[in-house]
Amino acid sequence: MIAVDDPLALNQDGPALRLGDVLRVAFHTSAEEPLIALPSAALRPGEQVWWVDEDNRLQSTQGTLAYRGQEEVLIRSGLEPGQRVVTAGLAQPREGQEVRIRQRGDTPAQDEGAAQ
């Protein structure tokens, strides 16, 4: 959303803006703090986030939100860049529980006797 202080040019020389006019706008922003974007499914009740350590064990942390949307959340603190966050549902997670990581595109393991 952009606001124009004097759209009718009543207090300055220059053209007034009319309905249907097109503007070219350039603006620069600076991030005040690093944020981590996650799918909303990764956020559990109480702003809890489960992540997997280097030994493939579950860890949980309390995240501090900067933004909560329908499909994405922005975490202000509680996670570090590069941490592997759990986005799938967890039935009964326990701190330290060993998990198997499934990457996007992986298919569930097939039975040994199944045709390939």
Q: Is residue 81 part of a domain?
A: yes
Q: Is residue 105 part of a domain?
A: no
Q: How many domains is the chain partitioned into structurally? A: 1
Region of residue 20 (left: phi > 0; alpha: psi -120 to 50; beta: else): left
Tens digit of pLDDT at every position of the chain (116 positions): 678 889 899 998 888 998 888 888 887 777 677 889 999 989 888 899 999 999 999 999 998 998 998 899 999 999 988 899 988 877 888 999 998 887 777 666 544 444 44
- Statement: the pTM of the whole predicted model exceeds 0.75: no
Q: Is residue 23 part of a domain?
A: no
Q: Is residue 27 part of a domain?
A: no
Residue 116: what pLDDT? 42
Strands (E), 12-99: 36-39, 43-44, 48-52, 58-62, 64-68, 72-77, 84-85
Q: Is residue 46 part of a domain?
A: yes
